[in-house]
Amino acid sequence: MGTFELLVGLTGLILVVGAVVAYSRTADILHPLLFLGPLFFYATVIDPLAVKHLLGRFFVNQSDVIFVLVLNLLCITVLVAGALHESSAHRGRRNASLQEYERRQLRRVALVLAVVAGVAYTSGIVNQGGFVAAFSQAKGGGQSNSGYISEAMNLGLVGAVMATLSQYRRRWNGQTLAVLIIGVLPNLIQGTFGGRRGPLFLAVAASLLGWTVTRPRTPRLWVLGSALAVLLLSVAFVGSQRRHLYLGSEDAVVKWEDFIGIVQPDEVAAEGNNFIYATGFVLSTRYSGEFTWGRRLAVNLLVRPVPRQLWPTKYEDVGATWITNEYPGLGHLTVDDWVDGVGWIPLAGSSGLSISDLFGEFSWGVILAMYLIGRAFAWLRFRRSNLGGVWELLYLEALILSIYLATQSFSAFYHRFLILAVPTIIVWKMIMSRRSRSHIVPFGIEAARLAGR
């Protein structure tokens, strides 16, 4: 066994052990490591092994690849440690549950949000000339002049989670199921007809988690694990076929060799591989020394929300020209940075994972950042288990969006989380204004306590 296999194996072992320890401690099938674990296992174990035979084509020195594998190992270790953190804070809890009028209010607001999401998404498709025109190309979809309208489709996810929460421990009924379908439909259409992996995961994950929290009894771990495995395979299949499976395609035939190529890629497929891109980005950033030290995160948080109609030159004014770059995929780096660092430039639209993204922000500070991400999930879970209510919603939304941490970037995760979290908090406070607080007993944790675990 070489150094490459050893580092990848240790990374996978830590993820597996972390998931086992998390479940043995809590019996919580919604523990963050039962979601983050499989996603990062693919990104940091399966993906590197799949392209190992091609790495020499992209990276001259194997020591550079080893550097990135060590970085992955350290970051995964602290992520798992953070997610396993158990707070010693007071664990007292209130036993009040949602009242009937609150359940009705949740369903009504959920329907409004789902309809708003559908209208916003439909307007983008109309702007493209209709459904056929929008999806008659690879990675098709609608387009809007306003980023707020484009992102409004994700409000449907908030509506879907609220709708299922209104039936907490009562099973789905027809009304709840209808709102759920309306809420996830924009992302489902974008994921299937548009061949987008992220939206497809969001739609199915929201439905899966909704089913889980409405069950009167805890689903078995193997059921949830099997469902998650099927979901990941479906996402991988859609991503592998999107180049030729779209409306009007002259080559509309399923190519199983492209699907198999995910784990056995050829040189052409490897050019857009997440691990290869992430490795190239880390090495190019390291070589150039062009770390942004949190500036990209600040731009996403403070500048991006300002409408272009009010500040047309906002990105140019703050020096965030990487956002308006005509060649997406470079990140905050230039073509020269990539060529000097690894000798090539990535395919347009390529992405890595949160580790490489945060390395570009903070250099070795990425280790602390990944630990804090794990702690943040642990904190949300703690609040959910002790307070319930809005924390149940926020926690489920974080789990739904977790795919972006393993397949794109931290920025992609956290700005979408804010889009979901802000209206969730506002709506919850409005609904709960008739009483000071509400508590909903979390499903998996309640079952564990009843079982004496």
H/E element, 20: helix 3-26
Token pair, residue 345, equals 């430039």
Give 218's DSSP letter. P
Tens of pLDDT, residues 131-185: 888 888 877 888 877 777 888 888 888 888 888 888 776 777 788 888 889 999 9
pLDDT in tens, 277-298: 999 999 999 999 989 898 888 8
CA-closest candidate to residue 86, choices 32, 13, 11: 32
For the chain, what are the domain ranges? 1-453
Query: What number of other Cβ atoms are within 10 A of residue 70's Cβ?
Result: 14
Rounded distance between C-alpha atoms, residue 195 and residue 82, angstroms? 34
pLDDT for 92 equals: 44
Instruction: Give pLDDT tens digits for 204-246.
Output: 888 888 778 777 777 777 777 787 788 878 887 887 777 777 7
- Angle, helices 100-127 vs 174-192, to 10°: value is 30
* pLDDT of 42 strictly over 80: yes
Both tokens assigned to 311: 């500040």
Average pLDDT on 175-202 reads 87
Dihedral sign (CA 397, 353, 52, 365): negative
d(CA 440, CA 189): 32
For the purposes of burial, counting CB atoms within 10 Å of the CB of 74, is it exposed (0-12), middle (13-18) or buried (19 or more)?
middle
Task: Report d(CA 81, CA 364) in Å as an integer.
Answer: 17
Averaged pLDDT, 87-96: 48
- Give the integer Cα–Cα distance in Å for 404 and 398: 10
Give me the residue label for tokens 């010693």. 88
Supply the pLDDT for residue 267: 58
What is residue 238's predicted lDDT score, i.e. its pLDDT? 81
SS3 50: helix
